[in-house]
Chain A
Amino acid sequence: MVSRRNFLIGGAALPFLSYINLADTVFAATPKDILVVAQQLDNMTSLDPHEGFEAVGGEMINNMYQTLVRANSDNPNEVTPVVAASWEADADNKVFTFKLADVKFASGAAVTADDVAFSLQRAIKMNKSPAFIINQFGFTPENVEARIVAKDEKTVTLTTETPTAISFLLFCLSANIGAIVEKKTVLENEVNGDLGNAWLQKNSAGSGSFKLQSWKASESIALTLNENGPYKGNLKRVIIRHVVDPSSQMLMLQKGDVDIARDLTSEQLKVLQSDENVVLVRKQIASLMLVSLNQNNANLAKPQVWEAVKWALDYEGMQKNIIPLTHAVHQSMEPAGFPGTVTDTPFKKDVEKAKALMAEADLADGFDITMDHYSAQPYPDLAQAIQANLGEIGIRVKLQSAENRQVLTKMRARQHEMALSAWGTDYFDPNSNAEVFCINKDNSDDAKKKPFAWRSSFKNDELTAKAEAARDEKDPAKRLELYEALQRDFMHNSPFAVMFQNTKTAACRKNVSGFQLGVLSNGNTYLETNKA
Chain B
Amino acid sequence: MNRRFKSLAATLSSVLLTLFGLTVLTFLIGRVMPVDPVIAAVGDNAPEDVILRARAEMGLDQPIPVQFLHYLYQLAHGDFGMSVLTKNPVATDIVRFFPATFELATAALLLAALIGIPLGVWAAVRQGTFTDQAIRVVCLAGHSVPVFMLSLISLLIFYSWLDIAPGPGRQDIIYDGMIDTVTGILTIDTLIAGDFGAFWDALAHMAQPVIILAYFSMAYIARMTRAFMIDALKGEYVITARAKGLSLTTVIWGHAFPTVAVQLVTVMALTYAGLLEGAVVTETVFSWPGIGQYLTVSLMNADMNPVVGTTLLIGIIYVGLNLIADILYRVLDPRVQ
- Chain A residue with Cβ nearest B117: A8
Partner of B86, one of A217, A244, A448: A217
Q: Across the interface, do B87 and A242 meet the contact criterion of CB distance under 8 Å?
A: no
Is A222 among interface residues, defined by CB-CB distance under 8 A?
A: yes
CB distance from B55 to the nearest CB of A (A): 12
Contacts of A329 in B (CB 8 A): none
Is B289 among interface residues, defined by CB-CB distance under 8 A?
A: yes
Is A394 among interface residues, defined by CB-CB distance under 8 A?
A: no
Using A218-B86, A403-B35, A406-B34 as known contacts, say yes or no to A53 and B204 having CB atoms under 8 A apart. Answer: no
- Chain A residue with Cβ nearest B160: A251
For the complex, what is the distance from the CA of A241 to the CA of B170, rounded to whole Å? 11
Q: Which of B16-24, B42-50, B240-248 contacts A (4 or more CB under 8 A)?
A: B42-50
Contacts of A436 in B (CB 8 A): 45
Contacts of B39 in A (CB 8 A): 405, 408-409, 412
Contacts of B287 in A (CB 8 A): 241-245, 248
Q: Across the interface, do A409 and B36 meet the contact criterion of CB distance under 8 Å?
A: yes
Using A34-B173, A216-B289, A450-B48 as known contacts, say yes or no to A27 and B300 having CB atoms under 8 A apart. Answer: no
Using A26-B200, A53-B42 as known contacts, say yes or no to A251 and B155 having CB atoms under 8 A apart. Answer: yes
CB distance from A86 to the nearest CB of B (A): 32
Tell me which residues from 185 to 238 in chain B have a Cβ below 8 Å from any Cβ of chain A.
197, 200-201, 203-207, 210-211, 214
Using A251-B167, A257-B167 as known contacts, say yes or no to A18 and B203 having CB atoms under 8 A apart. Answer: yes
Using A248-B286, A405-B39 as known contacts, say yes or no to A45 and B48 having CB atoms under 8 A apart. Answer: no
Partner of A245, one of B49, B159, B207, B284: B284
- Chain A residue with Cβ nearest B155: A251
Is A152 among interface residues, defined by CB-CB distance under 8 A?
A: no
Is B333 among interface residues, defined by CB-CB distance under 8 A?
A: no
Q: Across the interface, do B301 and A251 meet the contact criterion of CB distance under 8 Å?
A: no
Partner of B173, one of A11, A22, A30, A248: A30
Is B317 among interface residues, defined by CB-CB distance under 8 A?
A: no
Partner of B297, one of A23, A34, A42, A128: A42
Using A15-B211, A43-B85, A218-B86 as known contacts, say yes or no to A25 and B201 having CB atoms under 8 A apart. Answer: yes
For the complex, what is the distance from the CA of A303 to the CA of B23, rounded to whole Å? 50
Contacts of A214 in B (CB 8 A): 177
Partner of B201, one of A22, A31, A128: A22
Partner of B204, one of A26, A42, A408, A448: A26
Is B172 among interface residues, defined by CB-CB distance under 8 A?
A: yes
Using A251-B156, A255-B160 as known contacts, say yes or no to A19 and B42 having CB atoms under 8 A apart. Answer: no
Q: Across the interface, do B164 and A28 meet the contact criterion of CB distance under 8 Å?
A: no
- Chain A residue with Cβ nearest B83: A217
Partner of A26, one of B158, B166, B301: B166
Tell me which residues from 204 to 253 in chain A have a Cβ below 8 Å from any Cβ of chain B.
213-214, 216-220, 222, 239, 241-245, 247-248, 251-252
Interface 1/0s, chain B 150-183, versus A by CB < 8 A?
Answer: 0010011011100111111110111011000000
Is B103 among interface residues, defined by CB-CB distance under 8 A?
A: no
Partner of B167, one of A18, A201, A252: A252
Contacts of A46 in B (CB 8 A): 87
Interface 1/0s, chain A 110-131, versus B by CB < 8 A?
Answer: 0000000000000000011101
Q: Across the interface, do A255 and B36 meet the contact criterion of CB distance under 8 Å?
A: no
Q: Across the interface, do B285 and A202 meet the contact criterion of CB distance under 8 Å?
A: no
Q: Across the interface, do A18 and B50 meet the contact criterion of CB distance under 8 Å?
A: no
Tell me which residues from 176 to 204 in chain A have a Cβ below 8 Å from any Cβ of chain B.
198, 201-202
Interface 1/0s, chain B 279-310, versus A by CB < 8 A?
Answer: 00000111101000110010011100000000
Is B127 among interface residues, defined by CB-CB distance under 8 A?
A: no
For the complex, what is the distance from the CA of A244 to the CA of B88, rounded to whole Å? 21
Q: Across the interface, do B201 and A129 meet the contact criterion of CB distance under 8 Å?
A: no
Is A54 among interface residues, defined by CB-CB distance under 8 A?
A: yes
Q: What DSSP secondary structure best describes chain B's contact surface?
A: helix
For the complex, what is the distance from the CA of A17 to the CA of B84, rounded to whole Å? 42
Is A21 among interface residues, defined by CB-CB distance under 8 A?
A: yes
Is A84 among interface residues, defined by CB-CB distance under 8 A?
A: no
For the complex, what is the distance from the CA of A44 to the CA of B40, rounded to whole Å? 11
Contacts of B50 in A (CB 8 A): 127-129, 131-132
Partner of B152, one of A131, A213, A247, A257: A247
Is A20 among interface residues, defined by CB-CB distance under 8 A?
A: yes
Is A426 among interface residues, defined by CB-CB distance under 8 A?
A: yes
Contacts of B58 in A (CB 8 A): none
Is A391 among interface residues, defined by CB-CB distance under 8 A?
A: no
Q: Across the interface, do A217 and B35 meet the contact criterion of CB distance under 8 Å?
A: no
CB distance from B287 to the nearest CB of A (A): 5
For the complex, what is the distance from the CA of A450 to the CA of B207, rounded to whole Å? 52
Q: Across the interface, do A408 and B44 meet the contact criterion of CB distance under 8 Å?
A: yes
CB distance from A225 to the nearest CB of B (A): 15
Contacts of B169 in A (CB 8 A): 241, 243
- Chain B residue with Cβ nearest A43: B301
Contacts of B300 in A (CB 8 A): 42, 403, 405
For the complex, what is the distance from the CA of A443 to the CA of B291, rounded to whole Å? 44
Q: Which of A127, A198, A219 has the most CB of B within 10 A?
A: A219
Is A81 among interface residues, defined by CB-CB distance under 8 A?
A: no
Q: Across the interface, do A255 and B285 meet the contact criterion of CB distance under 8 Å?
A: no
Q: Across the interface, do A23 and B164 meet the contact criterion of CB distance under 8 Å?
A: yes
Contacts of B301 in A (CB 8 A): 42-43, 405
Q: Which of A8, A16, A27, A34 has the most CB of B within 10 A?
A: A27
Is B41 among interface residues, defined by CB-CB distance under 8 A?
A: yes
Is A151 among interface residues, defined by CB-CB distance under 8 A?
A: no
Interface 1/0s, chain A 248-275, versus B by CB < 8 A?
Answer: 1001101101000000000000000000
For the complex, what is the distance from the CA of A25 to the CA of B166, rounded to whole Å? 10
Partner of A44, one of B85, B118, B207, B249: B85
Contacts of B155 in A (CB 8 A): 247-248, 251
CB distance from B122 to the nearest CB of A (A): 10
For the complex, what is the distance from the CA of A402 to the CA of B34, rounded to whole Å? 10
Using A25-B197, A244-B287, A403-B35 as known contacts, say yes or no to A449 and B48 having CB atoms under 8 A apart. Answer: yes
Is A36 among interface residues, defined by CB-CB distance under 8 A?
A: yes
CB distance from A232 to the nearest CB of B (A): 24
Q: Which of A15, A202, A214, A450 has the most CB of B within 10 A?
A: A15
Contacts of A222 in B (CB 8 A): 176-177
Contacts of B158 in A (CB 8 A): 19
Contacts of A1 in B (CB 8 A): none
Contacts of B53 in A (CB 8 A): 127
- Chain B residue with Cβ nearest A213: B177
For the complex, what is the distance from the CA of A219 to the CA of B164, rounded to whole Å? 24
Contacts of A127 in B (CB 8 A): 50, 53
CB distance from A344 to the nearest CB of B (A): 26
For the complex, what is the distance from the CA of A153 to the CA of B176, rounded to whole Å? 40
Is A320 among interface residues, defined by CB-CB distance under 8 A?
A: no
Contacts of B85 in A (CB 8 A): 42-45, 217
Q: Which of B39, B167, B293 has the most CB of A within 10 A?
A: B167
Contacts of A201 in B (CB 8 A): 87
Q: Which 5 A-B pairs have the closest CB atoms?
A: A217-B86, A129-B46, A22-B204, A219-B289, A42-B297
Known contacts A8-B118, A45-B87, A424-B45; 6 additional CB pairs below 8 A are: A15-B210, A19-B204, A36-B173, A214-B177, A217-B88, A408-B36
- Subset of 6 A-B contacts with CB under 8 Å: A53-B42, A129-B42, A218-B294, A245-B168, A251-B155, A409-B39
